[in-house]
């Protein structure tokens, strides 16, 4: 899909997120079936879905602050912890005035 045709809510999704969405749709929304396909437990798939929902919500609540949105995505992707994210965002807002 060319980048100009990608809906805004999909821009920040990774390829593995798109694969997950496809499997979820093919399983008619059955998390139990998706868990079976991935060979993991239901709670693991539920957590993955919850993180995917958060990513989409961040995209939809996209502010004019790309840095803050990046920090939020990093928390969702477990690249940084929530406490570190709060500090980074707080310091950024102080610097920005």
Over residues 22-47, the pLDDT tens digits come to: 999 999 999 999 999 999 999 999 99
Q: Which of 19-23, 67-71, 72-76 has the highest mean pLDDT?
A: 19-23
Q: Which two tokens stand for residue 3?
A: 């980048």
**Integer Rg of the chain from CA:** 16
pTM of the model: 0.69
Q: In Å, what is the CA distance from 56 to each residue of 37, 51, 94?
A: 23, 9, 27
With a CB cutoff of 8 Å and minimum separation 6, the contacts of 17 are 52, 55
Instruction: Tell me how far apart the alpha carbons of residues 81 and 41 are, in angstroms, rounded to a whole number.
Output: 24
Instruction: Tell me how far apart the alpha carbons of residues 24 and 83 are, in angstroms, rounded to a whole number.
Output: 32
């Amino acid at each position: 899909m060319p980048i100009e045709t990608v809906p805004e809510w999909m821009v920040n999704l990774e390829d593995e997120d798109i694969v997950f969405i496809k499997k979820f749709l093919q399983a008619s929304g059955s998390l139990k079936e998706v868990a079976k396909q991935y060979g993991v437990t239901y709670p693991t798939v539920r957590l993955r879905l919850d993180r995917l929902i958060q990513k989409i919500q961040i995209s939809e609540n996209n502010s004019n602050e790309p840095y803050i949105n990046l920090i939020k995505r990093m928390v969702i992707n477990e690249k940084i912890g929530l406490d570190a994210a709060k500090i980074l965002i707080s310091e950024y807002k102080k610097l920005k005035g």
